[in-house]
Amino acid sequence: MKFKFWIAYRLLFSRQILFGGSAPLAFASLVLGVAALVASMAVMSGYVETLKSAMTDVTGDIQVVRRGRLVDDWAQFSKKLRTTEPRIQALARFGYAESILAHKGQVSGVLFQGVELLDLKKVLNLEKRIKSGALTLNEEQIVIGLGLAKKFNIQVGEKIFIVVPLATPFDSSGFRRQSKEFTVTGILDFGKNEWNERLILGDLKSLQGLTEIGDRYTGAFIKLLDRNDSTAAVTNLMDQLGAGYSVMDWYEVNRNLFEAVSIERAVIFIVVLLIVIVAAFNISSTLYVFIRQKYSDIAILKALGLSRKKIRTIFLGQGLIVGALGTGLGFFLGYLLCVGFMYLQNHFALISGSVYKIDKIQTQIRWLDLSVIGFSTIVICLIATYSPAVKGSELEVVEGLKNG
Amino acid sequence: MGNEINASDLLIEVRDVHKTYQTGASGLEVLKGITFQIKKGEAVCLLGSSGAGKSTLLQILGTLDRPTSGQIFYQGQNLLEFNDESLAQFRNQKMGFVFQFHHLIQEMSAVENVMLPALIANENRQEARDKAMNWLQFLGLGERTEHYPSQLSGGELQRVAIARALIRNPEVLFADEPTGNLDSANSLKIQELFFELRSKLGLTLIVVTHDLNFSALFPRVFKVKDGRFA
């Protein structure tokens, strides 16, 4: 077998092949196809991973919310959750209210989320999302999203007003307002565009004071011992807590989006794979021409004792070498494309946050993607070279010697 | 035409071999019932003008082509019953070929070309290389082993082709117009070399030529004319 690969290698890397005709172009198109596959899959994987990371950093592995009314007793509720689901590592309660942010004559609707910072830090990964300032909260302090800070040109240390509209119990057509001035202590990149432009984190007591709900709250963020158990934990919690609670993990919160991305990934893979298939056909036609030019060599190899089957293996070996080299170089070029994409993304606004929910993504080259791309490319190259290989092996020695 | 040979000395036996090439609706009969025998160690010349059928006969004897009808026996084995795989193996083991054009692989150096038959037989790479170097040395090409065919002269190319034909120690060496593409000085050297090799190695030599001077060196000459022995 070694010998057949040696022959395949020596014939393939001749000056005639490397520097002449259509072979280098056919090979280049294969490399480009593989690189395009690697880059597109890396961007898709990176998009999912970035979104997933944002979800788990900002909302935890699982979110439990009481439907229709607020939860009263945190000690009792947290104990119930821990008893129901032993895979829980940490819990943090939260409450939220639709509010209005007012700053220097401008106003905007925001979601004011009240949390207990000590508990929250055990559940969410917000520290790494700080862009300026610090994640410190007391009843006079808040942190805001990056988008909001840009929109209102708010700097750390500045004061803003939060206004909460409250229903009047005896007049369904009216409402009254509660407002409070806060100091912005930190600006965070929450990951998702809509969060960056709408989410404000404050102390739970501030929220409870503004909304006049006493010690009640909306629900809890949960961190699991292993994030991969989230689906099973959600099912368990839903069964045990009943219909009065909404239980969602990071996937469930954006199920439609993740399913769409998954379908898009498959479609993009097939479409870009067409480039590889077309390139493989180019290689096939190049190999036909190559075999025509090598009639004499094939004939002499047969005269020296190579059987048809072995000749076929030599040409299939060439397909394998081309496929493997194309895959390797394509991987490298794909990696460079990813690096280039990240560079451009850092210098220009490539992604519209309002369309894709996030305005910056990581590229993620996964072993699974590389394996599928590499396997597909090599199989396609082998299929493309099979027909010329058979033609080469069927050549009559006498014909080859005459035409050589 | 052929002399009767003892069964133990008999190497190749050809019985009523015909070869017809289909050209459109009609057929072109190139060999018209050839029968002869060759014994071990014999030097045989197939002499004839261009188109007489001598090269076709050599190719059939060397199992590079199949006759339309007739039989070919090699030490009693009917070669036409072999499948492609075993015939290829048989050729590699028993036969060596030298053609008018050297048919060396351009992408390989002289020593790599010579190594090919040994590598095809799955011989160890280093051993094959050593053997090839020895043969090239023996044929006076010790300084040219790493040269590529494009860097060698006509005579040198033909000597590399001879080394390639001999590396597996074949029983029969087939040569089709081996001097047809050489100048007279190189031609004479190659002719002498064939007979030197035959005497040293005990080879059976079957050579096709239209060169009367070359054919005169052979103890046994078959004149081929219009597909028959004249």
User: Residue A135: which of A86, A82, A201, A38 has the closest Cα?
Assistant: A201
Cβ neighbours of A23 in B, within 8 Å: none
Tell me the chain B residues in contact with residue A403 when contact means C-beta distances shorter than 8 Å.
none
B99 → closest Cβ in A2, A396, A401: A401
What type of residue sits at position B199? S
User: Whole-prediction pTM value?
Assistant: 0.72
State the nearest Cα–Cα gap between B4 and chain A, in angstroms: 30
- Which residues in chain B have their CB less than 8 angstroms from residue A393's CB? none
- pLDDT, position B2: 45
B108, burial (CB in 10 Å: exposed 0-12, middle 13-18, buried 19+): buried
ipTM, two decimals, is: 0.90
What's the confidence (pLDDT) of residue B190? 86
What string of pLDDT tens digits covers the 230 residues of chain B?
A: 445 667 778 899 999 999 998 877 788 889 999 999 999 999 999 998 888 889 999 999 999 999 999 999 999 899 999 998 999 999 999 999 998 888 899 889 999 999 999 999 999 999 999 999 999 998 889 999 999 999 999 889 999 999 999 999 999 999 998 888 778 888 888 888 888 888 888 899 999 998 888 899 999 999 998 888 87
H-helix or E-strand containing A222?
Answer: strand A219-224
User: Which residues 76-95 of B have a C-beta within 8 angstroms of A?
Assistant: 84-85, 87-89, 91-93
Q: Please name which of B77, B80, B85 lies closest in space to residue B17, comparing C-alpha atoms.
A: B80
Residue-wise pLDDT for B135-192, tens only, equals 999 888 999 999 999 999 988 999 999 999 999 999 999 999 888 877 888 888 888 8
Residue B182's Cβ-count burial label (10 Å; 0-12, 13-18, 19+) is: buried
Contacts of A401 in chain B (CB under 8 A): 64, 99, 103
Domains recognised in chain B with CATH numbers: 42-64+89-229 (3.40.50.300)
Minimum distance, in Å, between the CA of residue B143 and any CA atom of chain A = 23
B19 Cβ contact list (under 8 Å, min separation 6): B29, B30, B31, B53, B56, B57, B60, B65, B67, B68, B227
CB atoms within 10 A of CB B151: 12
CA angle B119/B103/A294 to nearest 5° reads: 85
Q: How many C-beta neighbours within 10 Å does residue A145 have?
A: 28
Q: Which two tokens stand for residue A118?
A: 């000590």
Q: How many Å apart are CA B224 and CA B32, to the nearest integer?
A: 11
Buried b (16+ CB within 10 A) or exposed e, A71-94: beebeebbeebeeebebbebbbbb
Phi, psi for B173 (deg, rounded to 5) = -115, 120
Mean pLDDT of chain A: 88
Neighbours of B185 (CB within 10 A): 8
Instruction: Note whether A74 and A162 are within 8 A (CB).
Output: no
The per-residue pLDDT for A190 is 87
pLDDT digits (tens, 9 = 90+) for A1-12: 678 888 888 777
Which residues contact residue A156 at a Cβ distance below 8 angstroms, ignoring those fewer than 6 apart? A132, A133, A184, A185, A186, A187
Residue A108's beta-bridge partner residues?
A101
Contact A10 B107 (CB under 8 A): yes
Rounded CA-CA distance A71/A77 in Å is 8
Quick one: which of A189, A204, A74 has its CA closest to A125? A189
Residue B96: its H or E element: strand B95-98
Which residues, 6+ apart, have CB-to-CB distance to A258 below 8 Å? A48, A51, A251
A309 touches chain B (CB under 8 A): yes
What gap in Å lies between CA A22 and CA A41, rounded to an integer? 29
Residues on chain B touching A16 (C-beta within 8 angstroms): 106-107
In this structure, what DSSP letter does residue A71 have? B
Dump the DSSP string for A130-152.
EEEE-----TTEEEEEHHHHHHH
Cβ atoms of residues B163 and B111 within 8 Å = no
pLDDT at residue A354, as a whole number: 60
Interface of A with B in 360-399 (CB under 8 A): 396-398
- CB < 8 Å to A2, chain B: 125
Residue A382 host element (H or E): helix A367-394
B117 → closest Cβ in A6, A305, A397: A305
Could you give the CA distance from residue A373 to residue A32 in angstroms, rounded to a whole number? Answer: 13
Out of A13, A304, A307, name the one closest to residue B116 (CB): A304
Pairing of the two strands A106-115 and A141-145: unpaired
Residue A298 to residue A283: CA distance in whole angstroms: 19
Q: Is the separation of the CB atoms in A257 and A51 below 8 Å?
A: yes
Round to whole Å and give the CA distance between A34 and A273: 8
| A269 Rama class: left (phi>0) / alpha (psi -120 to 50) / beta | alpha
Q: Pick out chain A residues at pLDDT < 50.
A: none
Do the Cβ atoms of A124 and A177 come closer than 8 Å?
A: no
Instruction: Encode B152-188 in three state secondary structure.
Output: CCHHHHHHHHHHHHHCCCCCEEEEECCCCCCCHHHHH
Report the residue of chain A nearest B107, measured CA to CA.
A14
